[in-house]
A and B are shown apart, each in its own frame.
Chain A
């Protein structure tokens, strides 16, 4: 959980808490079980009469629907109607945070939709404690297909456990596969011009010293010819909660020192601690401060915003960007459109022993819940079967359901009437092996498992035919898949990952009140240490402050919560 986001979270949590008070007044109605609509047996059994399902739908601004289609009426909902005889009626549709607000309003007014997504575990807990959502334990056992169970099993229970209360499954959690590590994208065309081979052993990992060498050369030689080269540029918040949000952060550098700021980890004695307060964190900051003194870190660090850093990259003032494997798809493509010669190679940073230290993501992302008393709670599981097993594993989808196939490739996933993602934890590596093998001609297009991979294979082949004149989008596909994903595959195959498992992802009581303050303290102190306005010795003072301003209490609460599991 990252920090600026936390402020909002606190707000939403407190709104939820206020709502809980009103729940006793508003809830309770309609809680008796409605009569189920009969259906054929099996995980995809159609209903005898049309089952109306009122949903809360989390939307995005630009779903790219074909003319005339909407969230309520699109290829997916029509397919659902045809296959299961279920009709989707939207109780509300909203974007991002506005969706969370609609959920709060629905809870407050006592009229929950039959099926909806809730984003955070706090809201789910609220719903469970007030007995507003249906117990899905039995319907999951009975209806979930083997493939769906296989998906959840790939997380060793880390995912389903997040939706368990007293051993009962109260929601269908979305999965969130591991996306480690934080990668470093370096301008390969510059390296070539300078005649540098930075990765002589070919393990796709740089040590801290090797990275320093690259940065120093870039700053000295100014390969972008801008007259004003900048070394490593970081966003002012410097750290990130997960790899998806690790763009322009020090996550990769921290990992070389086994520093995982913000994550709750457990030492060998079973004591939990926060990754921001460790010796490793101090060492990582010391290194950055040293680089700042030598001019290897952006002299304007602390005031340079995200957009400013993107401008540095596109202008050619810097040629090094930290971020997740898919950075080329949405960010580095800007660089390529400004400079058609731009090429990026992906690396990551290893520690002294050649290991890449990474943490597991929170295995769970979002929850689908069914209103307590709804006539057919199993419909949620059936929908999951349909969209994450039946469609995904249908080899002939393109011929049988051209409309749905078209949707998978062009329309945003939020159009699906189930708004979590279910993917195996090995998703990235599986995808990569399909793409790579197909691009190299080892397997045929039919053997590629997912529709998305197929379109990527086509895109990459287009790029390889004529790399110099290829479309930027094809270049992005190539760079993110073959370089970005390729790095993950390489590290997995070479067994170079050293995994750490955070033990706690939720929000405790004191976090609600103190996290905003603690995060501000951390952000300010880290920036001050790196820029040299505080010496590295003040890190210890920071840890003391952090503890006295609520950190100690939070650690105690997390310890209790973890011990109780």
Chain B
């Protein structure tokens, strides 16, 4: 469609850019504020004086983090968890999605498996039964308790399956004629074609594993074993909640000590750095991954 470039379309474009710019600001400004708070003196933070630039610039909070053994131990646990979770997720997603992407004729019983998946996506055992299973398997306090219960992200399976369905049949047929085994078809033909969607589900897996704090709370019975986000969560208790829970002097003094706003901000900043580094690498695949996966042959 050819459109005359008039003044109205320019205004329209300008308006769109403005809206997008504002939306971008809404996302960016809170982050800037957190960074500014993390570099500010605690008194200035308490007095609500910090906007988007640090007041009374200090790196005291970061120095305190450097000296916090538990922070780095938790950081290490989170890194291990992400790597382990990523490998496990990708292997299981691909192995599951590939057969499911075949037609009913090629894969008898496909609909049974599909229904099971969807059932499991909609309903689950709930917190306590899952806990009992994990406990009786002897997984408490191990990294496996964090990784195994979420080893097959069904949403990602369906996404990859849809993408596989979009890969031209002719490619597979050609490979089979050349004598490729089904496994070779998957690894030599399908996977190289599917980089966008693999990158997308990898990103989901990394972000999900890195940000999840709740499973750490349940399956780790010692603070020593907490992954990073769980550890940070356990520090950012709100003062008002403490007051409502009785507010004894020692607990209040303690909470003011660890939960000072600028220290928390510094922890948040440090904890998002790994994700900030990974995002740009995978981002270019992200949009194509989601969109292309939705188009079928």
Contacts and interface: CB of A to CB of B under 8 A. Distances in A.
Interface string B217-235: 1100111100000000011
Given A5-B245, A245-B247, A334-B46, A98 B131 contact: no
Given A101-B218, A307-B48, A338-B47, A108 B224 contact: no
Contact of A330 (B135, B234, B252): B252
A105 interface: yes
Given A5-B245, A96-B237, A108-B128, A326 B252 contact: yes
B87 to A, nearest CB: 29
A213 interface: no
A326 B223 CA distance: 29
A92 interface: yes
Nearest to A72: B222
A244 B131 CA distance: 35
Interface stretch (B188-196, B254-262, B279-287): B254-262
B174 interface: no
B244 A61 contact: no
B251 interface: yes
B246 A310 contact: no
Given A2-B244, A93-B221, A306-B239, A334 B43 contact: yes
Contacts of A280: none
B237 A242 contact: no
A177 B121 CA distance: 51
Nearest to A108: B128
B132 interface: yes
B181 interface: no
B27 interface: no
A22 interface: yes
B248 interface: yes
A19 B128 contact: yes
A101 B235 CA distance: 17
Interface residues of B, number: 40
B170 interface: no
A245 B246 contact: yes
Which of B42, B46, B218, B252 has the largest count of A CB atoms less than 10 A from its CB? B46
A434 to B, nearest CB: 17
Interface string A59-97: 111100000001100000000000000000011111110
B243 interface: yes
Given A245-B244, A247-B243, A306-B239, A94 B221 contact: yes
B254 A5 contact: no
A544 to B, nearest CB: 27
B249 interface: yes
Contacts of A310: 46
A244 B246 contact: yes
B223 to A, nearest CB: 6
Nearest to A1: B244
A421 B249 CA distance: 12
Interface size bracket, A side = 35 or more
B241 interface: yes
A306 B132 CA distance: 40
Contacts of A244: 243, 246-248
Interface in B102-149: 128, 131-132, 135
A105 B254 contact: no
B23 interface: no
A109 B43 contact: no
B257 A5 contact: no
A95 B222 contact: no
A442 B128 CA distance: 59
Nearest to A331: B256
A22 B246 CA distance: 30
B273 interface: no
B246 A105 contact: no
Interface in A329-364: 329-331, 334, 337-338
B10 interface: no
Contacts of A241: 244
A4 interface: yes
Contacts of B251: 60
A523 to B, nearest CB: 13
A464 interface: no
A314 interface: yes
A109 B131 contact: yes
Contacts of A95: 223, 234, 237
A367 to B, nearest CB: 14
Nearest to B245: A5
Contacts of B250: 412-413
B244 A315 contact: no
Contacts of B11: none
B237 A306 contact: no
B223 A59 contact: yes
Contacts of B297: none
Contact of A4 (B132, B244, B256, B258): B244
Given A93-B221, A314-B46, A330-B252, A365 B135 contact: no
B178 interface: no
Contacts of B223: 59, 71, 93-95
Contacts of A70: 224
Interface string A1-19: 0101100000000000011
Nearest to A245: B243
B131 A108 contact: yes
Contact of B259 (A61, A242, A326, A338): A61
Contacts of A235: 240
B146 to A, nearest CB: 15
A235 B247 CA distance: 16
Contact of A5 (B43, B217, B218, B244): B244
Nearest to A59: B223
Contacts of A547: none
Interface in B4-34: none
A2 B242 CA distance: 11
A547 to B, nearest CB: 25
Contact of A61 (B46, B131, B235): B235
B289 to A, nearest CB: 36
Interface in B253-293: 253-259, 261
B222 A93 contact: yes
Contact of B217 (A101, A176, A326, A334): A101
B243 A338 contact: no
A359 to B, nearest CB: 15
Given A5-B244, A59-B223, A307-B48, 5 more contacts: A93-B223, A241-B244, A245-B244, A334-B47, A421-B248
26 contacts: A5-B244, A18-B128, A61-B234, A62-B254, A62-B257, A93-B223, A101-B217, A105-B128, A108-B132, A242-B246, A244-B246, A244-B247, A247-B243, A247-B247, A311-B46, A311-B48, A311-B49, A329-B249, A329-B253, A331-B256, A334-B43, A337-B43, A338-B43, A365-B246, A365-B248, A412-B254
Ranked 9 nearest A-B pairs via Cβ: A92-B221, A244-B247, A5-B244, A311-B48, A62-B258, A245-B243, A314-B47, A2-B244, A326-B249
